[in-house]
Amino acid sequence: MISNKTKIAVSRTKFEKSAYYFVALFVLVFLGFWTTYFSKLFDVNGTIPSYFHLHAAVMLIWVVLLIVQPMLIRKKKTNLHRTIGKVSYVVMPLLLFSVLLIINNSLKVLPVEKQHFTSIIFPFRDLFLLTTAFSLAIVYRNNIQIHARAMIITGIIFIEPTLFRFLIHIAFKGNLLLSLVVSIAVVLGILITLMVMERKQKTARWMFPVLLFIYIFVYTIYITKTDLSSLDPIARWIARLPLT
């Protein structure tokens, strides 16, 4: 018979291994944003807005945290894990703010009549998911089942945008449709795999299915070109913010 203590240890072991996958995500971030950002850092004639630097910096720091924190748990350095975790109180708000800056700028370059909510549906979704996942991680920081899954979700959110950029700029050379389909399939595949792996999990099993539902819901809206004109005032309000 497996004791509750052993069950918790087994659960922790699974979460600790997430560090290795986030190392791959770290590499993917560089590959995905190489063409549009990292390669231009060496261009003396190039002009990259400061908020792009902010976004890149805090995103990389966040992925590093996702790598380091599980490793500290694995090495039983709980106190150090908690101390470093406090850095997230600064990094995540900056990350959310940087996403808002990018949304703001992407809308401002459009004429008012083209500032539609559908044009920001993916970054707006990510902003919502990051905020929700991080909030859950903080509120339930003493509940490893919810805390760990919420932190993993913050990493999963980065997969689609980074993979899409890698595919369209490097792998598929501008093929928008194929890049979109593959990136969507990968994200959905990861979430379905996690759900299958957790089919016998007793607590917090709802988190990945909820995330899957949100992704499918947004994809369906985008693919079917659902009329979201009633939300356009939100997009125009964000565009008017004096941020960028």
How big is the CA angle at 194 (ends 193 and 199), to the nearest 5 degrees? 100
Q: Which domain holds residue 11?
A: 4-240
pLDDT(61) > 60: yes
Lowest mean pLDDT among 6-15, 92-101, 168-177: 6-15
pLDDT(10) > 50: no
pLDDT(244) > 50: yes
> pLDDT band for position 94 (50/70/90)?
very high
172-222 residue pLDDT tens: 999 999 999 999 999 999 999 999 999 888 889 999 999 999 999 999 999
DSSP state of 77: -
Give rounded-to-5 percent helix, strand, coil for the chain: 80, 0, 20
Query: Using CA atoms, how far apart are residues 180 and 159, in angstroms rounded to an integer?
Result: 12
Lowest mean pLDDT among 43-47, 180-184, 206-210, 224-228: 43-47
Strands (E) in 2-148, as ranges, are none
> pLDDT band for position 159 (50/70/90)?
very high
Q: Mark 36-68 as b/e (b = at least 16 C-beta within 10 Å).
A: ebeeeeeeeeeeeeebbebbbebbebbbbbbbb
Region of residue 198 (phi > 0: left; psi between -120 and 50: alpha; otherwise: beta): alpha
How confident is the model at residue 16, as a pLDDT? Answer: 67
As a whole-number percent, the residues of the chain with pLDDT over 70 amount to 93
Residues shown for the chain: 244
How confident is the model at residue 115, as a pLDDT? Answer: 96
| The total number of structural domains that make up the chain | 1
pLDDT(46) > 80: no
156's tokens = 């999963």
pLDDT(122) > 90: yes
How confident is the model at residue 203, as a pLDDT? Answer: 87
> pLDDT band for position 2 (50/70/90)?
very low
> pLDDT band for position 3 (50/70/90)?
very low
